[in-house]
Amino acid sequence: MYPQLETDSEQDQRATKVRLLTSNSSGSNPKATSCDTAAKKAPPPSKWRRALLRHAPVFRWLPAYNMEWGIDDFISGITLGLTIIPESIACALLAGLPARYGLCSAFIGPLIYLIFGSIDKVIIGPTSLVALVSVQFTVGRPIEFAFLLTFLSGIVQIIMGALRMGFIFEFISMPVIKAFSSATAILVIESQLKVLLGIKYLVPGLVNSVRTLSSRIHEANIGDLVMGICAIVFLLLLEVSIRVDSTIGWLATSDFLQLLERVARNKKRGKALRIFCRYLSTSRNTLIVFIAAIVSYTWLGFTEHLPYALSSNALSSLPNFTVPSLTIETPERTYSFWQILNELNVGIIVIPIVGILTNISIGKLTPKGLVDTNHELLTVGLCNMFGSCVQAMPSSGAFTRYAISTACGLKTPMANLYLGVIVLLALGYLSPYFNYIPEATLAAILICSIFTLLDFKLPRRLWKESKRDFGIWLLCFCVCVLFGVEVGLFVSIIVTALHLLFLWARPEILVKIEELDEMQFISVVPGNGIYFPAINHLRGLVLKACTQAEFRITVVIDGHKISGLDYTAAQGISKLSSDLCRQSDASSSTLLILYRFPAHLQHLIDVTDNLVFCENETKVKEFLTQESLRNGYINLKEHIRASIDLGYKIDIE
Amino acid sequence: MYPQLETDSEQDQRATKVRLLTSNSSGSNPKATSCDTAAKKAPPPSKWRRALLRHAPVFRWLPAYNMEWGIDDFISGITLGLTIIPESIACALLAGLPARYGLCSAFIGPLIYLIFGSIDKVIIGPTSLVALVSVQFTVGRPIEFAFLLTFLSGIVQIIMGALRMGFIFEFISMPVIKAFSSATAILVIESQLKVLLGIKYLVPGLVNSVRTLSSRIHEANIGDLVMGICAIVFLLLLEVSIRVDSTIGWLATSDFLQLLERVARNKKRGKALRIFCRYLSTSRNTLIVFIAAIVSYTWLGFTEHLPYALSSNALSSLPNFTVPSLTIETPERTYSFWQILNELNVGIIVIPIVGILTNISIGKLTPKGLVDTNHELLTVGLCNMFGSCVQAMPSSGAFTRYAISTACGLKTPMANLYLGVIVLLALGYLSPYFNYIPEATLAAILICSIFTLLDFKLPRRLWKESKRDFGIWLLCFCVCVLFGVEVGLFVSIIVTALHLLFLWARPEILVKIEELDEMQFISVVPGNGIYFPAINHLRGLVLKACTQAEFRITVVIDGHKISGLDYTAAQGISKLSSDLCRQSDASSSTLLILYRFPAHLQHLIDVTDNLVFCENETKVKEFLTQESLRNGYINLKEHIRASIDLGYKIDIE
């Protein structure tokens, strides 16, 4: 890890006034875990320098950059470049765009992320997830819609970042993220099946798509299928080899790999071969594309028609840098900006959120652990905004690239530089040759790369350990698969939020009969803060217990777990005391003792005749003694005690 | 209080298996506070009888009905009947309907509520609040829209009740209800000002209305104004007298009342006069209408045109009982059911909610205290559904009628019977005479009755005691007044819900350096349950403290206040332990002790090398001793300790 200078927010706080830790600081200080040693030696940086360090993390690691990192980054960069090229083309096709627009998205993002990116192993570029979601908003519309969607996504991300709205991502729980990615994987695989089979159609929704596929299965082209399956087998073999390499002792499942392994373990030739092996594996996507393209090229020398489909590509030059126009003119009609917004609909909210989601998830996997979501929003927003100027599709980090950068031992975002250059070179010189890549090969690449997102171990674990989380997983997964990922994400966030709200409405409240010096009382222990949705529940429970005890013994509400109380709840407690007063005989009213209530909450509660505050047990004992002197010694019958302890009535007949 | 039989839910529970009190029983047992004495003597009722008792509360009190209650109820019923007649007419005019439709709403509701109603002092009928909201959805449309709105509101209420959705009303906090009713009062008063001034127009929104009023103020008619002001003065005088009567010792503000009081206190004639005084006051609405109508009638004997406007009324017969048609045909166009739904828009959700809101608020004021919202939804839903069959507008309970029924000493819902009969008689025989009631008198009645809802003491108290609640009050009040009550209600519910969600995202977490046998450790005490939105916050705080302590001392998370933990949070805690492992020197990893974590939550957390669970202090001490033996005795410098305790960094330079 490269050393990291002390972040700005800490420096700020040094100068500012005392702030209690309990105050809500809306998660603005995620880099507090960085190593402070460097900062202590350096003189305190100026205001401008601090801002620079905060907003452009490149200046944090660049001064300490060294040869060793350089080599690792160079190798990672080249490998990632070779990986991202076929992946981008495949994503472009998935998004319904010509191949080269994928590449256009794969060079500007990394170059911007190099400067502003805060998560090392995030490599910005097109992803199948974002492509899958964005195609729903651009399908059947002019191609400019895609670029404008990129632009608007960027703007929305920048606005969200500037407004520090990153905290909303904290309301997406892990089961939701996992179900969402598994569902995406399923949808992407399904969408690529038809490409593997050489069948061409475009229908929205998984159900429709499966129905269409099954009705047209007889149109399947054996050439595409063979090409696709060959590619998948090739990719799987090489992917397995990377796992062998990284975790020695893992049993190789193919003879080929065992052979490689055996060779690799030969001590003399071992190291070089193992490195070769690893890079063979990490560049497997490029390799298969390269092989397939050569096959197609050679084959076309002998015959005019290939038995499989090739990807088509419109232009072949470097993209122009042009700010996207906010109106779109086509021969058929002209779209005004408002019409475009209307057509893109919720896309301009969903795409930014989905894009950032991957980055955050990757950030959580990295050792540094804590992600500054707002900074990430700003950075990815910039990537998208500038990306749209070179006709890019919406971009974000991707798990596949994270896996490869980890395998290659990427050290700093410098790798982005090499990656960007490779992609630019490919765009400039290789564009014409993209036409020789078979579509089925690209489908194979997408299918194999998305497999990492399929995770069915989690739901099995959730089923065993937390049924509620499993329910959320299942809901999110089903809705994503059946009604689209954006609907699934939205529904799950709403459901988890409603559950959190419900927790405020029905907090854990323990009601029991307890004894202190043989004096009985009803002990009520609320588990959380008591806010307005819970107060009637609390009152109901207490009144029920009191009714069963015939309003004869004192009620003690133990507030030591209460962290908060609002006006409505405080009024409810006052009202509870008057309920107790009214319900009991005129002669004696039931006393309500509020025990260990935080002092700052006490003033909210109106004091009535039969309501007292106690700070310690001695005081409670005093009041209980007073009450028993006043009312005589009362001992509840066993069945009443049990009724109250169990929360329902036991009848003796 | 009439005796109440033991409710069904208790009986159910008697038979069913043991259920812990802590389980969430979604507030289904609000009658648990009823007196059990009656139930103990009676034989256990059959299943049918129990269902009957639960759904038709009339059978709970009818068997014990006696002469004394009968007299009180009769007097209350008559008084309420005389009150509800002018009030209904005024509300109908407010809702943009002819007068008699108000009366149509005032007899079927009470008769149904007599049987099914669970809150004694709720008298179902038109209210200015509901009228004010519903006019927004029906204005400018055929009159059938109003009846269909009533019908659909009833259906929605019944569906909500059947689905036990009553708990959503718990998410409306008291400041919101109070702000909402104060805003309604302001809007109703503003809407009646133009009637008082005799100016006729209909514009939506307070701002527009005030602007129109001020631009047309020169059209004001002195006749209407005089009539209105006389009525207001009359009503205020009599209203004040009821207060004098109910709270003796209260200083009378007018000479007239002091006179009445002096007479009333004369011991001989005292009692009769005081009763007379009270009924004079409670029937003040009828009285003023009666007087005004007589004045108009007499005046019309001398001249053809009155100097003030009279209310107009279309028909004069008892309403027909017809199920409302789901399509509306007018000479101009035919509305299909979907078109009607589209036109009524959110009205069919807002009206049911607003209607029930008043009933719940009244329920909370009554001694029994706890309202079964679901039962109330079903009952009011029935009232509205049947109401629409006799051309009623949407109905609910009203605070004004609650005040009168309290003043008259209403004992049981039997009063509804007398009230219903009076209204029917009025409809049958008096309808032609409604034409003699001046509009200004009705406006005066509305203004005086809505005054009770204006409450500006609460915001003053909130400002002093709870700024957050004051903020909610202010927001709700302003949005209600400026953008309509339904928008205000919606916005406030969303904002309070978001605040509750925010409390899960940023719970109170105390991080401090503590000592046990001179061994220091970082003590972390989360205040609430830790769910997924909070876990990154917790991790951030702990890692920040650890960084400041240079990862040298043990972290103890004290979970005694934690009531819940989900899978995401549990994973976050596991991850925190590996963060601590990774960040510290390779030689020694920081130990993470989870102290007093509820046993049922422990299995969710993956155990790592440096994570242990402790149940008691002795065990914690053991671990701390082990750690200090392993790492040597570590004592943090004072400035580091302070840094961690205060939550930000103190620098020594």
| 3-state per-residue secondary structure call for B550-604 | CCCCCEEEECCCCCCECHHHHHHHHHHHHHHHHHCCCCCCCCEEEECCCHHHHCC
Average per-residue pLDDT for chain B = 81
Contact call for A369 and B539, based on CB within 8 A = yes
Distance in angstroms (rounded) separating the CA atoms of residues B78 and B93: 23
Give contacts of B604 with chain A, Cβ < 8 Å: 465-466
**What is the pLDDT, as a whole number, of residue B264?**
54
Give contacts of B571 with chain A, Cβ < 8 Å: 174
| Best CA proximity match to A437, nearest among A302, A301, A285 | A285
Contact call for B173 and A568, based on CB within 8 A = yes
Kind and range of the H or E run holding A230: helix A222-246
**What is the pLDDT, as a whole number, of residue A383?**
94
| Best CA proximity match to B407, nearest among B375, B354, B452 | B452
Contact call for B568 and A173, based on CB within 8 A = yes
**What is the pLDDT, as a whole number, of residue A51?**
82
Nearest CA in chain A to B528: A528
**What is the pLDDT, as a whole number, of residue A608?**
82
Over residues B615-627, mean pLDDT: 88
Give contacts of B471 with chain A, Cβ < 8 Å: none
Distance in angstroms (rounded) separating the CA atoms of residues B594 and B631: 20
Nearest CA in chain B to A561: B561
Of A37-51, A442-456, B222-236, the one with minimum mean pLDDT is A37-51
Query: Helix A222-246 and helix A255-265: axis angle, to 10°?
Result: 30
| Best CA proximity match to B360, nearest among B176, B498, B182, B88 | B176
Burial A326-351 (b: 16+ CB within 10 A, else e): eebeeeeeebeeeebeebbeebbbbb
**What is the pLDDT, as a whole number, of residue B23?**
37
Contact call for B603 and A465, based on CB within 8 A = yes
Contact call for B29 and A540, based on CB within 8 A = yes
Contact call for B543 and A496, based on CB within 8 A = no
For A507-646, the fitting CATH number among 3.30.479.30, 3.40.50.10310, 3.30.930.10, 3.30.750.24 is 3.30.750.24
Contact call for A543 and B648, based on CB within 8 A = no
**Residue B91: pLDDT above 70?**
yes
**What is the pLDDT, as a whole number, of residue A629?**
83
Question: Tokens representing B208?
Answer: 């527009």
Give contacts of A33 with chain B, Cβ < 8 Å: 540, 543-544, 546-547, 579, 583
Q: How far is CA A220 from CA A197, A199, A232, A300, B353, in A?
A: 5, 6, 18, 22, 57
Return the DSSP state at A374: H
**Residue A124: pLDDT above 90?**
yes
Kind and range of the H or E run holding A180: helix A174-196
Collapsing DSSP to helix, strand or coil, B520 comes out as strand
Do residues A385 and A151 lie in contact, with contact meaning Cβ atoms separated by under 8 Å?
A: yes
**What is the pLDDT, as a whole number, of residue A21?**
34
Over residues A21-33, mean pLDDT: 37
Contact call for B509 and A19, based on CB within 8 A = no
Which region, left, alpha or beta, applies to residue A97 given φ > 0 means left and ψ of -120 to 50 means alpha? beta
**Residue B498: pLDDT above 70?**
yes
Contact call for B33 and A167, based on CB within 8 A = no
Give contacts of B564 with chain A, Cβ < 8 Å: 503, 508
Of B29, B506, B648, the CB nearest to A24: B506
Of A21, A529, A544, the CB nearest to B528: A529
Give contacts of B20 with chain A, Cβ < 8 Å: 646-647
Collapsing DSSP to helix, strand or coil, A613 comes out as strand
Alpha carbons within 13 A on the beta-carbon side of A551: 22
User: For chain B, what is the largest distance between any 2 Cα atoms, rounded to a whole number of angstroms?
Assistant: 110
Nearest CA in chain A to B505: A170
Contact call for A567 and B465, based on CB within 8 A = yes
Question: Tokens representing B519?
Answer: 């061994």
Contact call for A503 and B544, based on CB within 8 A = no
Residues whose CB is less than 8 angstroms from the CB of residue B131 and which lie 6 or more positions away in sequence, other chains included = B91, B92, B94, B95, B393
Of A243-247, A263-267, B594-598, the one with minimum mean pLDDT is A243-247
> Start-end ranges of CATH 3.30.750.24 in chain B?
508-646
**What is the pLDDT, as a whole number, of residue B33?**
37
Q: Does domain B508-646 have CATH number 3.10.20.30?
A: no
Angle at alpha carbon of residue B131, lines to B333 and B113, rounded to 5°: 110
Residues whose CB is less than 8 angstroms from the CB of residue A150 and which lie 6 or more positions away in sequence, other chains included = A105, A384, A387, A388, A392, A393, A394, A395
Of A167, A462, A645, the CB nearest to B567: A462
Cα A344–chain centre separation: 23
Question: Tokens representing A451?
Answer: 């497999």
Instruction: Give A300-350 pLDDT, tens digit per residue.
Output: 888 888 888 887 765 566 777 888 888 888 888 888 888 888 888 888 999
Instruction: Give A499-556 pLDDT, tens digit per residue.
Output: 999 888 888 888 988 888 888 889 999 887 788 888 888 988 898 888 888 888 889 9
Contact call for A504 and B505, based on CB within 8 A = no
* Amino acid making up residue B145: F
Choose, out of A41, A463, A536, the residue to mutate when testing the contact with B (most B CBs < 10 Å). Answer: A536
**What is the pLDDT, as a whole number, of residue A351?**
92
- pTM listed for this prediction: 0.80
B525 - beta bridge partners? B510
Give contacts of B463 with chain A, Cβ < 8 Å: none
Give contacts of B468 with chain A, Cβ < 8 Å: 566
Question: Tokens representing B609?
Answer: 């090398």
Q: How many CB pairs under 8 A join A and B?
A: 232
Contact call for B568 and A175, based on CB within 8 A = yes
The alpha carbon of residue A544 is apart from the nearest alpha carbon of chain B, in Å, by 5
Of B364, B543, B567, the CB nearest to A466: B567
Of A28-32, A514-518, A587-591, the one with minimum mean pLDDT is A28-32
Distance in angstroms (rounded) separating the CA atoms of residues A365 and B639: 33
> Start-end ranges of CATH 3.30.750.24 in chain A?
507-646
Distance in angstroms (rounded) separating the CA atoms of residues B397 and B365: 13
Give contacts of A167 with chain B, Cβ < 8 Å: 505
Return the DSSP state at A436: G
Distance in angstroms (rounded) separating the CA atoms of residues B292 and A351: 66
Residue B236: CB atoms within 10 A of its CB come to: 17
Portion of chain B with pLDDT greater than 90, in percent = 17
Average per-residue pLDDT for chain A = 81
Residue A48: CB atoms within 10 A of its CB come to: 8
Of B173, B501, B650, the CB nearest to A501: B501
Contact call for A651 and B462, based on CB within 8 A = no
